[in-house]
Amino acid sequence: MRLNSRALLCSVGGATLGPGLGLGPGLNITNTPIGKFTAQDVKVSTTAEDAITKYSLSDTSSGSSKEKGFCRTCGCTLWTIPAAAKGKFYMIRLPLLDGGLNFQPANEIFVRNRPTWVEPVKDAGQWDEMRK
């Protein structure tokens, strides 16, 4: 995957994934740096054909559905494709990429859910909800 992200942002509230996805009683994802990549820049290869599971989620903060790809081994979210992206963009968690944590987010989303112990990213735009 080439690291020419179209946008960098940080989700500081995000979704809570629950038992319906096989991830336990509820795993709250917070403060996750995310890169927005064009679909043509994303190349996924695995050693096993069934290594990735995809789910479509409809109960979202935007009200629009989204597809999420998960690793079947560890349950890690690999990417999200919001319905509004119409398959043109992947939202990928930067910690999964080599050197991904070297990028500073340009914007933070869901800041209304920011834990009190998490500081805002310096010079980053602050959004209460997902940008539309």
CATH number among 2.170.150, 3.40.50, 1.10.1760, 2.70.98, domain 7-126 = 2.170.150
- Evaluated on CA atoms 89, 40, 77, 52, the torsion sign reads positive
Position 7 scores a pLDDT of 47
Which helix or strand (DSSP H or E) is residue 52 part of? strand 52-57
65-82: pLDDT as tens digits: 888 998 888 888 888 898
Chain Cα centroid distance, residue 93: 5
Query: Residue 125: pLDDT above 70?
Result: yes
Question: Do 88 and 72 meet the contact criterion of CB atoms below 8 Å apart?
Answer: no
What is the per-residue pLDDT across 8-56, written as a single tens digit (0 to 9) for each? Answer: 444 544 443 333 344 444 444 456 788 888 888 888 878 888 888 898 8
